[in-house]
Amino acid sequence: HGVALYKPASRESYPEKCKNCPQIPVCKKQSTSPGAVLNWLRLGLITAEGKPTLRGRIASFFSTGGGLAIAAAIEDEEYPLNELLYDLANLDAGFRFAGDENRWGGRLAYVCKKTYNGQSAPGYLEHGVPPEYGFGASEVIAAIHKNPEIKAQFTTPTLGVGDIDRIIIEWRSRMRQVAHSSELNNERWNAFKKLCKETLNEVESPTLTDLPPLEFSQTRRMEHTLILRKH
């Protein structure tokens, strides 16, 4: 006891699925840090054989963690699609819409935490929820969808009309991504695609404003020649 061992005997142990794999020498040369494939497997985006799951196919249509949230909601058969439609707005809401409520509240956040077991993936999930998530935007969007004239009623000292316009733009962008994604062998996903496409035609973008006509001087080509006066 108390004496250090010099080059003690050691052995290597492999997972059951890897014991008879001919690629063991190749794997041993790779970095031990978690790679993308391990993260995909951990989040259920692929099977152990490397085949994409329904969750993985849906998430692949998006470049952020919002795709993981949408995939989790589609998997939940008890999640009404007409609620998910407005909950899409929460994916980009941040902290402004929550007010005094829990920013990480709401059904979509709960489903995400349950599906991904509170795991984190840098840039995609923080404790199971997309980092830009914020509860409260869905209620504002649902009300404005029914009556666009009441937008100003939702302004607070921390939430301005510009914030509401921004979330409407982000919400329409999410719906457009869903509507233009490929169909899959899943009834809920295809029904949600149809719902997003129909709703897009009902909601006008805040950026569509009637601008005044250009002045005549604004229609002429700019002349950048420097003219020096002679005295």
- Band the pLDDT of 35: cuts 50, 70, 90: confident
Let me know if residue 111 belongs to a domain: yes
The helix-helix angle for 66-75 and 187-200 (nearest 10°) equals: 120
Let me know if residue 213 belongs to a domain: no
Mean of per-residue pLDDT scores for the chain: 90
Handedness of CA 106, 109, 114, 115 (dihedral sign): positive
CATH code of 190's domain = 1.10.3380.30
Let me know if residue 99 belongs to a domain: yes
Span 192-227, pLDDT tens digits: 999 999 999 887 777 666 667 777 777 777 776 766
**Token pair belonging to 58:** 């849906």
Let me know if residue 192 belongs to a domain: yes
Selected residue with higher pLDDT from 100 and 192? 192
Mean pLDDT of 13-25: 85
Selected residue with higher pLDDT from 14 and 175? 175
- Band the pLDDT of 27: cuts 50, 70, 90: confident
Let me know if residue 71 belongs to a domain: yes
Let me know if residue 147 belongs to a domain: yes
- Band the pLDDT of 231: cuts 50, 70, 90: low
Please give the model's pTM, rounded to 2 decimal places: 0.78
Q: What is the pLDDT of residue 105?
A: 95
Let me know if residue 230 belongs to a domain: no
Selected residue with higher pLDDT from 99 and 70? 70
Rounded-to-integer distance, Cα 45 and Cα 37, Å: 9
Give the other-Cβ count within 10 Å of 48's Cβ. Answer: 7
Q: What is the pLDDT of residue 211?
A: 65
Let me know if residue 7 belongs to a domain: no
Close Cβ partners of 138 (under 8 Å, ≥ 6 residues apart): 83, 86, 87, 88, 89, 90, 106
Give me the domain span that covers residue 58: 35-205
Span 114-172, pLDDT tens digits: 999 999 999 999 999 999 999 999 999 999 999 988 988 999 988 999 999 999 999 99
Close Cβ partners of 50 (under 8 Å, ≥ 6 residues apart): 37
Mean pLDDT of 183-191: 97
Domain count, the chain: 1
CB 43 within 8 A of CB 52: no
- Band the pLDDT of 42: cuts 50, 70, 90: very high
Rounded-to-integer distance, Cα 172 and Cα 200, Å: 7
Q: What is the pLDDT of residue 68?
A: 98
